[in-house]
Amino acid sequence: MDAKDILGLPKTPLPITQEKKSQPKKDSQRKPDGISREVYALTGGLAPLMPSIDTTQLKRRPPSDEKITWQWLPFTNSARKDNLQLYHWVRVVNGVSPTGDYSFAKYNKSVDIVRYTDEEYEKHLTDPMWTKKETDQLFDLCERFDLRFIIIADRFPSSRTVEELKDRYYSVSRAILLARAPSPGDVSAHPLIKEPYNVSQEVDRKRALSMVLSQTKQQERKDAEVLAEAKRITESRMAARGVEESTLHVAPNAGPEIAETANVDGTVSPSSNVQLASAAVAPSTSVTAENASTLASLRMLRVYLRTYALEQMVQAASSTAGLRTIKRVEQILQDLGVNLKPRVPTKAVCAEHLELRKEILTLLNLQKQLQYKEAEGSSFRDGSYTEMPGTPKRSHRDQDGIFIPDSMSFGGERAGRRDQKRKGPGRLSDAPASPAAHKRPRKLKASDL
């Protein structure tokens, strides 16, 4: 069994006309004229990276009317001072030899060395460590060897280091420029004035470079390990600093709305008495801790706006208060004519603004404590627990002496609810609660009547 049996196809081969796909003809690249076969094979038929000469210029023949010859002719170099005459081969066209200066004379560049007179030396350039003869020799060698101080130190008659020679040359040149200038501002842009030579820094640099070059393989591996460890420590500190900065941008979560259980009509609920008493003492310690942590977080930031710091301090001071308390603080500030954000956020203004907010919070807490105490005193003066209007009255027995369950009436409605919320100021949380109601009322029997 083969694939045709599985697919149910006839075993006789069907005539299939296969059309031969026409392959695109390859463009035969012809070798350009003037290039050998070996050189062209090395290129692989690709375009050269650098621009090449046009192929028509490779086998160009000179015009028939030009007669070109090469002649051995003398020449002089303007860069030389001795007028030495040398010879070289020159291309001569129609018997006319080329004229002009030597073509390589333009590459003769020399350094302009500042020279001084005897009067200037006696007035501005005297140095107890250098004589005038040594200074003259130094400047002659600098002009001869174009400030190549390694060669100058090798040719200098006395034993002087390269740094000493550099320091003497640049200090003298700088003093001459300042003495000849009408004012110091005229030569302030000169390289010798703008960037003076520092001999101590050069000595330290060379000493450090010699120490690095004289290290062994073991010392290099040890230095590489130290650098890797320092890099790891730096990256870990940067990551920790990034986490701290990100936490500063997240506003602190608002705490539980302590002392916010006051009713709309201004009375205080008895169930919140304990919370009010604790909330009066807690802000003093919690706000101080929050301020300390906020200041520590702000010190991690090298640069920050003072308004941003004030916002963080305000959020830390108001973290224990609820949203309604914060709104009341802002309303009091508006009533007093104080802006929510200082217009001139100096350090003293921000400190006073923060202190005012803290005092307003303390005032609100004291007002709530006062309401709590007044409600407690009025409840003790009355000596009884009055019920608010609209509270359903409870009756255990009717006038005919028929017993009716406390939790039921004839209509199947509950006569009272457990933990009935009352708005009267005289109710305490330890008042006797109504008896628990059954899930389903029991049917009355004939014996109960």
Instruction: Name residue 248's amino acid.
Output: L
The SS3 of residue 91 is strand
pLDDT attached to residue 233 = 93
Does residue 38 or residue 63 have the better pLDDT? Answer: 38
Sign (positive or negative) of CA dihedral 301, 305, 306, 311: negative
CA distance 273 to 379: 13
Query: Tens digit of pLDDT for each residue in 406-425?
Result: 444 444 444 444 444 444 44
Residue 186 has pLDDT above 80, yes or no: yes
Q: Report H helices in 270-346.
A: 273-279, 282-300, 306-317, 323-335
CA distance 212 to 1: 81
Q: What does the DSSP assignment read for 408-419? A: --TTS--S--TT
Query: Tens digit of pLDDT for each residue in 274-287?
Result: 344 444 444 444 54
pLDDT band at 449 (very low <50, low <70, confident <90, very high): low
Q: What does the DSSP assignment read for 109-161? A: ---------HHHHHHH--BTTB-HHHHHHHHHHHHHTTT-HHHHHHH-SS---
pLDDT band at 219 (very low <50, low <70, confident <90, very high): very high
Taking all residues of the chain, what is their mean pLDDT, rounded to a whole number? 74
Residue 123 has pLDDT above 60, yes or no: yes
Tell me the mean pLDDT in the region 264-283: 41
Integer Rg of the chain from CA: 52
Query: Tens digit of pLDDT for each residue in 194-208?
Result: 999 999 999 999 999
Does residue 343 or residue 395 have the better pLDDT? Answer: 343
Residue whose C-alpha is closest to residue 69's, from 102, 88, 44, 92: 92
pLDDT band at 447 (very low <50, low <70, confident <90, very high): low
